[in-house]
Amino acid sequence: MKTIKKILKIFFPKLILRYKAYKELINNEHSYLYTTGWMRSLDEYKPVDGNGDAIPWMNYPMVSFLKNRLNKKHDLFEFGSGFSTFL
């Protein structure tokens, strides 16, 4: 088995990396893609968080940044349209 892995690493290095990414991110329900809601968004064709709640059409770190800093005391002007108006 080790010989096969060595051969694959030599001749197909990208294949090994893609397999590792699949194993760690896509096939693991505790990965970042699942906990943030990214995989659920992919299934539902709309931006949602890990609980299925609608989120703005922004990357997940930016949504987290804003969610931790904005509250009812703040006024926010959001320029745009579409899913980004949900926050």
Residue written as token pair 């989120």:
55
Structural domain containing residue 17: 1-30
Query: For the residues 25-54, what does the mean pLDDT come to?
Result: 90
Task: Clarify whether residues 57 and 16 are in a common domain.
Answer: no
Task: Clarify whether residues 45 and 10 are in a common domain.
Answer: no
Q: Which is higher by pLDDT, 77 or 64?
A: 64
Tally of domains in the chain: 2
Task: Clarify whether residues 25 and 54 are in a common domain.
Answer: no
Distance CA 74, CA 72 (A): 5
Task: Clarify whether residues 81 and 40 are in a common domain.
Answer: yes
**pLDDT > 80? residue 76:** no
First to last CA, the chain: 50
Q: How far is CA 30 from CA 35, 37, 53, 78, 85, in A?
A: 6, 11, 18, 32, 28
Is the whole model's pTM more than 0.95, yes or no? no
Task: Clarify whether residues 24 and 41 are in a common domain.
Answer: no
Residue written as token pair 């709309």:
46
Task: Clarify whether residues 17 and 46 are in a common domain.
Answer: no
Give the pLDDT confidence score for residue 40 in this predicted structure: 93
Lowest average pLDDT, out of 24-33, 55-64, 77-86, goes to 77-86
